[in-house]
Structure 1
């Protein structure tokens, strides 16, 4: 199982989990194809909407796009890739920015995520 973690101002930990159930629904990006099945711009827009939803209950400044990377999984010989889209978020009460990374599968879907308070962050790495 692939797990991607994102942190918000050392207050919250978000854990995205991608399991074997997600793989059949995700198109492969084969070595013979020049472009992935989902464009980077579509992945960026999808992740932006998810970041806004993730932070809807917390004060923040408008997220700023930072980076979009294609990543291979350990199953990459089958052509399974995903995007990791990184956002910079500035909480109003803190001077430091926070970075949130959102995985986007090549079918345009963002995996479900769990939210952990920073004090309970050890739970994010269990199970």
Structure 2
């Protein structure tokens, strides 16, 4: 099981957990294949849709894409994209901003996530 954590300013903590049950191992990226089964642009698009859903109830300026990295993790070496977005407060004065990271599995899905209030963030690491 892979667990990733991402903060939204100092207000919320998003916890992503994924493994074979969520499709982390399919499709596999064959060792002889030069490219992964999911194109980076498809991963960015999937993360953009998920980010809009995640932040629908929170005020923010339009997020801007920052980075997309292909990572390998977990005991079985599952590949996934680690997509980063910069999110500014609604006034968008160039000041305080938050970088939100979303995993996208090679099946094109952003795994389920849990949301923790900042005050309860330690619960995210309890399991």
Q: Please give the TM-score of this superposition, normalised by the length of structure 2.
A: 0.92
Give the direction of change, closer, same or farther, for the CA distance of 1:99–1:24 in structure 2 (3 Å limit): closer
Q: Does 1:82 align with 2:80?
A: yes
Pairwise mapping of residues 1-127 of structure 1 onto structure 2 (< 5 A)? Answer: 1-23=1-23, 26-74=26-74, 75-76=76-77, 80-92=78-90, 95-127=95-127
How far, CA to CA, are the matches of 2:108 and 2:124 in structure 1?
25
Residues of 1 paired with 2:121 and 2:68: CA distance? 26
The two structures, once aligned, show a CA RMSD in angstroms of 1.5
**Separation of aligned partners in 1, 2:34 and 2:68:** 17
The size of the alignment, in residue pairs, is: 124
TM-score (norm 1): 0.92
- Which blocks of at least 5 consecutive residues in structure 1 are unaligned? none
Gaps of 5+ in 2: none
